[in-house]
Structure 1
Amino acid sequence: MRWFTNLFKARDKPQNYSFGSNYSFFFGNSSSGKSVNEFTAMQMTAVYSCVRILAEAVAGLPLHLYKYTDTGGKEKAISHTLYFLLHDEPNPEMSSFVFRETLMTHLLLWGNAYAQIIRNGKGEVIALYPLMPNKMSVERDARGNLYYLYTKTFDEMTGSEKTTVALKAEDVLHIPGLGFDGLVGYSPIAMAKNAVGLAMATEEYGAKFFANGAAPGGVLEHPGTIKDPQRVKDSWNKAYQGSSNAHRVAVLEEGMKYQQIAIAPDQAQFLETRKFQINEIARIFRVPPHMVGDLEKSSFSNIEQQSLEFVKYTLDPWVIRWEQAISRALFTKSEKKAYFVKFNVDGLLRGDYASRMSGYATARQNGWMSANDIRELENLDRIPDELGGDLYLINGNMTKLQDAGVFAKKYEKEEAEDEEVLELDKKR
């Protein structure tokens, strides 16, 4: 028994260096000098677009609870209490779409998504409430069991401004992202703060460029001594500073000359830098560039293939994280053997109309799809059973290989019988 106790104590405490005293190690100022965190990163259009695309994609997928049947198939477990929570309304305050969109946003920005599991007296799950990941820490007690500490900024019961609530592991739905210990995920924004910071810096540079005018960063040269230089500066800025005053004709007095000292945006490859940083951020979230507005490498011939790759290589890993986390946290040990949850991504994998119809025709003619199977995928009403909607048909000229010899022998036997009949007729 002592051996097991030592084993538990030997387990490391889950580490999330983007939380607590080490929070500033990953976040804080980037190499570009810009302060990067989840909230400032969302002000970048590329980050906002990537997060919104992935969050809405996962939230919009049909989510169903299935039960294994005795015949080895599956059927929707509509009568199970979890079906309504996952498919329609996880709590009285939000829909399933909003709930999954919120948790997916947390997962993309903080690397972790948490939801509190509310159970009734029977132990059944009756509600799921999102929890802010920046207020959560994962701990391990002396016996090696995981538990969660959630910091509330205001407690309505006690009236205190800050309090910490301890939650058992079975009371928290935790979806971790990519991490180093398998228990806590790391924030993609924290791990790529320099790339995000550079994008923020280039965006600010462009904004200030147009705010200062078309030729910022210059000096006014005077052949003599100016008695009131501040007045000259204020007069110049009032007349020529700002995008609304760009390209105005400057009038210089008393032999003054204007000397530009800033590097022109085209020389600094300003636009190219901004474009590259957008692709860099899209690369962080593994979102195809055409989905964030960069259509340079996209065409009618490859954009459909890129969309399929988005489902296969970007959405599928996130969907699997969701499915396995839900099964692990919400099902009892006996239910895990009988039930499972599944996101339906078939709608995103559908091709154009002609390709779909050709595939359906092949499936129908080869007997592995019925008319109702096809109509269900196309969101059409089912054909009644008495009209043959659930019939599975095959071509009549096809047969199993092992039956080929049977037909051959039968044919030879029939020929032999016909020959015997002819011989008997001749003798008669």
Structure 2
Amino acid sequence: MNIFSRFFSRDKPKNATAGAAYQFFFGGTSAGQNVNERTAMQMTAVYACVRVLAEAVAGLPLHVYRYGKDGGRERATEHPLYFLLHDEPNPEMTSFIFRETLMTHLLLWGNAYAQIIRSGRNDVVALYPLMPNRMRVDRDERGHLFYEYTVIGDEAKTMKGATVRLSAADVLHIPGLGYDGIVGYSPIAMARNAIGMGLACESYGAAFFANGAAPGGVLEHPGTLKDPSKVRASWEAVYGGTHHAHRIAVLEEGMKYTPIGIAPNEAQFLETRKFQIDEIARIFRVPPHMVGDLEKSTFSNIEQQSLEFVKYTLAPWLSRWEQAMARALLLPEEKKTCFIKFNVEGLLRGDYQSRMNGYAVARQNGWMSANDIRALENLDRIPAEEGGDLYLINGNMTKLKDAGLFAGKEQDSDEEVLDVEPDGGAGGNAGADARAARCHRGGQLAR
């Protein structure tokens, strides 16, 4: 009775560490559809949103960096984590597949887990994904977190035993939005009525076309039928199904067909389906044009929407990944000198003309060299002896404190000329020579 009392309770779900997975009691929704993390993927809008976010996170370059002495940063390619995160987290997966899998778990279950395999020196040597619906998070008698994972027959045997208890140091846990900051809630669970309505619309549409794209109705007979089921079966065999749609019906013995269903346009079927696509995109904060809805997208705003996707949708997820990996994978002494970072510069790149204009400004103002620009465009480097690493600036630019310096020197020269003796002696000849030299230097300005 405890389960049923919790199921029918109107209290909001409590986010306790004793259970990472949101429990779908019988999976029912207000729309009458069975919704869980797996069935939700049957809705095209959910599948598209999950795929867009998972592939975006998986496709970004992921590097381990080390702080430089001059305040800069450099890639720590010799670090043991670099190869694991950038290339192969384990011998069975590439980095793309590993991150795509964990991001899918994070979007559907609200939590992503991976087992950390360490060497005798405490270095991370492998990362293996764990199914969120098989994980239980709890605290021991001393208040320390532990992870209890159940292994079933259809999963890879990465661990021995039916149930394995893992310490917090052995699990990479990336939680989604939650109430206690430890365990995240499933977005599918929180929005299961909206997703259920979308599934109901798809089921209604499929049934509508399966019944010949005609609403249900009543066959009226003026007399009494001895076997109505036989007449119904005969009618469905001849006129039911999409392959029998629009056939001419022949009624005998004074029978009459009266439709009683509501037409799809009267029930706003298409409008409801479209609204549910926007609703699902709103749950995952994905621009509608990225899941195929181009109604409100134009050539002038679609690029801006793509940039907003990176800043407001993708960036928070990347921060969760970066901070969770740094917390679980870096040793305490390494956290002061190393960090893990996704490179999103490729997603923030504009069109070709915008990039070239930006490079021109950077080149002319001296904070990018030719090789810096060529590296961003995936071009070969220009040898240093040919000037590829030179930083150049415009020659007509000067420091603010030097503004008017030339005019001050000109004024000093004029004062020296005024001191020349007026009688045209030796001093007069020197003054004439100085004026001639000044005219030669100043050109039109001196004259």
Query: Is the alpha carbon distance of 1:241 and 1:308 closer, same or farther for their aligned partners in structure 2, counting shifts above 3 Å?
Result: same
Alignment of 1:273-422 (within 5 A): 273-404=272-403, 406-417=405-416
Counterpart residue type for residue 323 of structure 1: E
Other-structure match for 2:427: 425
Q: Distance in 2 between matches of 1:319 and 1:156?
A: 28
1:62 corresponds to 2:27: no
Counterpart residue type for residue 276 of structure 2: Q
Alignment of 1:237-252 (within 5 A): 237-252=236-251
Other-structure match for 1:116: 115
Other-structure match for 2:24: 24
Q: How many residue pairs end up in the alignment?
A: 411
Counterpart residue type for residue 354 of structure 1: Q
Q: Distance in 2 between matches of 1:384 and 1:355?
A: 27
- SS of the residue corresponding to residue 232 of structure 1 reads helix
Tell me the TM-score normalised to structure 1 length: 0.92
Report the alpha carbon displacement of residue 287 of structure 1 after superposing the two structures with TM: 0.6
Report the alpha carbon displacement of residue 166 of structure 1 after superposing the two structures with TM: 0.7
Q: Distance in 2 between matches of 1:36 and 1:174?
A: 25
Report the alpha carbon displacement of residue 65 of structure 1 after superposing the two structures with TM: 1.0
Report the alpha carbon displacement of residue 18 of structure 1 after superposing the two structures with TM: 3.6
Q: Distance in 2 between matches of 1:165 and 1:421?
A: 101
Q: 1:25-82 deviations in whole A, cap 9, x for unaligned?
A: 5x71010010100000001111000000000000000111111111110111111111
Structure 1: 4+ residue segments shifted above 3 A: 15-19, 154-157, 405-424
Report the alpha carbon displacement of residue 369 of structure 1 after superposing the two structures with TM: 1.0
Contact 2:45–2:291 (Cα < 8 Å) also in 1: yes
Report the alpha carbon displacement of residue 303 of structure 1 after superposing the two structures with TM: 0.7
Query: Is the alpha carbon distance of 1:141 and 1:422 closer, same or farther for their aligned partners in structure 2, counting shifts above 3 Å?
Result: farther
Other-structure match for 1:4: none
Other-structure match for 2:102: 103
Structure 2: give runs of 5+ residues left out of the alignment: 1-14, 431-447
- SS of the residue corresponding to residue 342 of structure 1 reads strand
Contact 2:21–2:135 (Cα < 8 Å) also in 1: no
Alignment of 1:262-277 (within 5 A): 262-277=261-276
Q: Distance in 2 between matches of 1:169 and 1:17?
A: 14
Other-structure match for 2:443: none
Query: Is the alpha carbon distance of 1:48 and 1:427 closer, same or farther for their aligned partners in structure 2, counting shifts above 3 Å?
Result: closer
Other-structure match for 1:230: 229
Contact 2:136–2:148 (Cα < 8 Å) also in 1: yes
Contact 1:67–1:340 (Cα < 8 Å) also in 2: yes
Counterpart residue type for residue 428 of structure 2: K
- SS of the residue corresponding to residue 278 of structure 1 reads helix
Contact 2:54–2:101 (Cα < 8 Å) also in 1: yes
- SS of the residue corresponding to residue 258 of structure 2 reads strand
- SS of the residue corresponding to residue 318 of structure 1 reads helix
Q: Distance in 1 between matches of 2:179 and 2:314?
A: 21
Report the alpha carbon displacement of residue 156 of structure 1 after superposing the two structures with TM: 9.5
Report the alpha carbon displacement of residue 419 of structure 1 after superposing the two structures with TM: 5.2
Query: Is the alpha carbon distance of 1:70 and 1:261 closer, same or farther for their aligned partners in structure 2, counting shifts above 3 Å?
Result: same
Contact 2:109–2:188 (Cα < 8 Å) also in 1: yes
Query: Is the alpha carbon distance of 1:410 and 1:426 closer, same or farther for their aligned partners in structure 2, counting shifts above 3 Å?
Result: closer
Alignment of 1:122-133 (within 5 A): 122-133=121-132
Q: Distance in 1 between matches of 2:282 and 2:376?
A: 32
Report the alpha carbon displacement of residue 370 of structure 1 after superposing the two structures with TM: 1.0
Q: Distance in 2 between matches of 1:276 and 1:269?
A: 11
Q: Distance in 2 between matches of 1:330 and 1:309?
A: 30
Query: Is the alpha carbon distance of 1:336 and 1:421 closer, same or farther for their aligned partners in structure 2, counting shifts above 3 Å?
Result: farther
Report the alpha carbon displacement of residue 137 of structure 1 after superposing the two structures with TM: 1.3
Other-structure match for 1:5: none
1:182 corresponds to 2:184: no
Contact 1:16–1:186 (Cα < 8 Å) also in 2: no
- SS of the residue corresponding to residue 224 of structure 2 reads coil
C-alpha RMSD of matched pairs (Å):
2.0
Q: Using the aligned pairs only, state the percent identity.
A: 70
Query: Is the alpha carbon distance of 1:420 and 1:378 closer, same or farther for their aligned partners in structure 2, counting shifts above 3 Å?
Result: farther
Report the alpha carbon displacement of residue 403 of structure 1 after superposing the two structures with TM: 2.5
Query: Is the alpha carbon distance of 1:421 and 1:103 closer, same or farther for their aligned partners in structure 2, counting shifts above 3 Å?
Result: farther
Q: 1:173-224 deviations in whole A, cap 9, x for unaligned?
A: 1111111101111000000000000000000000000001122311100011
Report the alpha carbon displacement of residue 228 of structure 1 after superposing the two structures with TM: 2.0
